[in-house]
Amino acid sequence: MSEVQTNQQFRLAARPVGLPTDADWQLTEEALAPLEDGQVRVKVLYLSLDPAMRGWMNEGKSYIRPVAIGEVMRAGAVGVVTASRSPRFQPGDHLSGAFGVQRWWTGAVDENSGVVKIDPALAPLPAWLNVLGMPGMTAWFGLTDIGQPTAGETVVVSAAAGAVGMTVGQVAKHLGCRVVGIAGGADKCRFVVEELGFDACIDYKEGNIATGLKQHCPNGVDVYFDNVGGEILDTVLTRINMKARIVICGAISQYNNTTRVTGPSNYLSLLVNRARMEGMVVFDYAARYPEGVARLAQWLREGSFKHREHVVDGLENFPSALLMLFEGKNFGKLVLKVADA
Ligand SMILES: NC(=O)c1ccc[n+]([C@@H]2O[C@H](COP(=O)([O-])OP(=O)(O)OC[C@H]3O[C@@H](n4cnc5c(N)ncnc54)[C@H](OP(=O)(O)O)[C@@H]3O)[C@@H](O)[C@H]2O)c1
């Protein structure tokens, strides 16, 4: 069978102001480069769409360099090797890596490449972008390493029905905590409680968060895993306990601001309660991912852990699919299907 000759990719055309628009992307086509020694060719099957991608489109200092104008948009992905000139991987192997928003990835796969082999027999491929992938690792290490909850404590997590949130809550339940989610809408709240086993969920679009926290966290909040920032973070700060731990994982409510970020005005609650607020970046734990994968895979195998993906079909839908994250339209980890296996 002759190998496909052309690639298709989304490149960053302009730095967005506020929500990204179609004008911020350029869909390009180019010939595939010949394979060099040490490289593999990967057919991209599923792309991970992540809130962090919005940050990577901005100029300025961050935990990772911005995507350059004209560059293929950075994205985590899973795919299958179709050709190899590396001893590490063979055609037919399934890999996970930062393959970008494109149909084909060609690159070197040395130990530092971040490209790893995954086992589709353990979990379906989209789950390798969720519970067994970057969001799962964020939840596992953010909660256990920074949040450090102990049995009997109360853990609150926002964006609870999303990729990171659903794993945070389930890990906390496995650790014996009382778990309260915050999510947008009755369906998401029902899922979090009835399917994932959280103790309660506050619908921030319907109810009052302060009232909900008072009702569902009668003993206060020991760990708050913050995925959204803004007003929700500020409100949770009013309910924290002595020595509480606030994990600053993300602030999706602020990513498309065209004005200044809304910071927590209730921060003196940290002083009063001798509490700690600490940021985390999942990539710092890259060397320990196998540890996190092993634990979460064990719970999956035992049937005591769930995952949910929201799959959108077609590379051409990338610009509109990405926006779903900021409108709460994804129900589960948002994944873009690029090709059939
Ligand atoms: N620090 C790290 O290393 C790291 C790694 C991965 C992810 N993160 C962060 O973790 C957070 C969750 O990421 P994810 O991949 O799991 O996404 P996700 O939760 O699967 O999807 C995003 C969800 O955020 C909620 N949301 C959107 N706009 C909101 C707003 N204005 N106010 C409140 N909620 C809003 C929506 O849920 P509702 O319908 O419930 O509103 C939406 O479905 C993000 O902030 C992301 O940047 C950080």
Please answer whether residues 181 and 165 qualify as being in contact, where contact means their C-beta atoms are separated by less than 8 angstroms. yes
Question: DSSP secondary structure string, 281-321?
Answer: -GGGGGGGHHHHHHHHHHHHHHT-----EEEEE-GGGHHHH
Residue 257: give its domain's CATH number: 3.40.50.720
Check residue 3 and give its pLDDT. Answer: 62
Residue written as token pair 């010949």: 34
Check residue 334 and give its pLDDT. Answer: 98
* Residue 94 sits in the same domain as residue 154: no
The answer as to whether 261 is a domain residue is yes
H or E segment to which residue 135 belongs: helix 134-141
Domain limits for position 78: 6-130+308-337
Q: For the chain, how far is it from start to end, CA to CA, in angstroms?
A: 16
Q: Ligand 1 centroid vs 164 CA: distance in angstroms?
A: 8
Taking CA atoms only, the protein residue closest to ligand 1 atom 41 is 184
Check residue 83 and give its pLDDT. Answer: 97
* Residue 55 sits in the same domain as residue 91: yes
The closest of 184, 209, 206, 191 to 328, measured between CA atoms, is: 184
Given a cut of 50, the residues of the chain with pLDDT beneath it are 1
Amino acid, res. 249: C
The closest of 87, 77, 101 to 37, measured between CA atoms, is: 87
Q: Ligand 1 centroid vs 140 CA: distance in angstroms?
A: 16
Please answer whether residues 57 and 16 qualify as being in contact, where contact means their C-beta atoms are separated by less than 8 angstroms. yes
Helices (H), strands (E): how many in the chain? 9, 15
Q: Which mutation among 130, 145, 164, 209 tests ligand 1's pocket best, with the greatest number of atoms within 8 A of CB?
A: 164
* Residue 321 sits in the same domain as residue 246: no
The total domain count for the chain is 2
Check residue 147 and give its pLDDT. Answer: 98
Interior angle at CA 298, CA 295 and CA 302, nearest 5: 145
Please answer whether residues 246 and 226 qualify as being in contact, where contact means their C-beta atoms are separated by less than 8 angstroms. yes
The answer as to whether 33 is a domain residue is yes
* Residue 164 sits in the same domain as residue 256: yes
Q: Ligand 1 centroid vs 229 CA: distance in angstroms?
A: 10
pLDDT in tens, 308-335: 999 999 999 999 999 999 999 999 999 9
The answer as to whether 298 is a domain residue is no
* Residue 118 sits in the same domain as residue 169: no
Check residue 5 and give its pLDDT. Answer: 85
* Residue 87 sits in the same domain as residue 157: no
Q: Ligand 1 centroid vs 165 CA: distance in angstroms?
A: 8
Side-chain half-sphere exposure of 266, counting CA atoms within 13 A: 16
